[in-house]
Chains A and B, each alone.
Chain A
Amino acid sequence: MLRCNRIHRFVIHFTNAFILESTHMTELARKRPEFRNINALKDLPTYRLPAAGIVSILHRISGFLMFLLMPLFIWMFDNSITSEISFAKFTAAFEIGVGFVPGWFFKLLALALIWAYLHHFIAGMRHIYMDAFHAVSKEFGKSSAVVTLVLSLGLTAVLAAKLFGLY
């Protein structure tokens, strides 16, 4: 598990898929295309990443996104708790906007943060569950990955509807 966490690069997403598949190795499997020295532009679009691989790379992307948007997050925290006036500024950013930046843009940024948080949270809980209960079978890897994607995207959609005033 140590290695699973440590080594996250694309190559591993690819090799993992092959190691998992290799339990069902037949002549048929040997004819599969081989991926060595993966070219991001040529090979990635044609490679079918398994659900667990999608969750894994999204875990990384969502973490990176939150790292970049951290000042926005703290700006919201700061303004929302400091005073009545700053709280009004905080809510106005979403309704009216700030300067030339319109409110819907802040709502989109907030939605990106919401998705990133939800995905990172659920995928992280999946990691911890796997570590704690040694739940590392191929079947659990796939089913829990699908659950992660359905939950994070579903909750994001619900909160998006709320954010844009659909209910």
Chain B
Amino acid sequence: MSSVNYGSKRIVTGAGYGFRDWLAQRVTAILMALFTVVLLAQVIFTSGPIGYEEWAGIFAAQWMKVLTFAVIIALLYHVWVGMRDIWMDYVKPLALRLALHVFTLVWLVGCAGWAVQALWRL
């Protein structure tokens, strides 16, 4: 590694904040796993066939809305870290990588907004 790491010599490739994202990916994973278990439990312990009322009822409870909202945000971050890893590994031209990063962010923020809107309309 060059001793000069500023100006035009500054190394700007790579994530450079590995540990924070490594940890965040695990923390968000655990939250999403817990959500999966909670949702499955509610589906399994619902008596009778599950129609619209039963299904929407699961998400109508305020605590479930808050939990689902937190999971959507966790998912957003989790997927961002994962997708950025994929682009960093396989896409070398910087311009293309930047374009893919921007696409990923727009895609994810858009999806998260849609999911939150659907959730809070309930």
Contact = CB atoms under 8 A, between A and B. Distances in A.
A and B bound?
yes
Given A5-B22, A128-B26, A128-B29, A74 B118 contact: yes
Contact of B52 (A6, A9, A67, A84): A84
A2 B15 CA distance: 13
B19 A2 contact: yes
Interface residues of B, number: 32
B12 interface: no
A135 B14 CA distance: 28
A57 B66 CA distance: 33
A102 interface: no
Given A74-B118, A81-B122, A87-B55, A2 B90 contact: no
A125 B114 CA distance: 28
Give the size category of A's interface with B: 20 to 34
Interface string B13-25: 0010011001001
A7 B59 CA distance: 38
A95 to B, nearest CB: 15
A74 B51 CA distance: 19
Interface string A87-126: 1100000000000000000000000000000000100110
A72 to B, nearest CB: 10
Nearest to B15: A6
Contact of B55 (A6, A64, A67, A81): A81
Contacts of A66: 79
A124 B29 contact: yes
B83 interface: yes
Contact of B114 (A7, A9, A74): A74
Select the residue from B22, B51, B90 with max chain A CB neighbours within 10 A.
B22
Interface of B: 15, 18-19, 22, 25-26, 29-30, 33, 36, 51-52, 55-56, 59, 79, 82-83, 85-86, 89-90, 104, 107-108, 111, 114-115, 118-119, 121-122
A125 B29 CA distance: 9
B114 A78 contact: yes
A16 interface: no
Contacts of B79: 63, 66-67, 70
A118 to B, nearest CB: 10
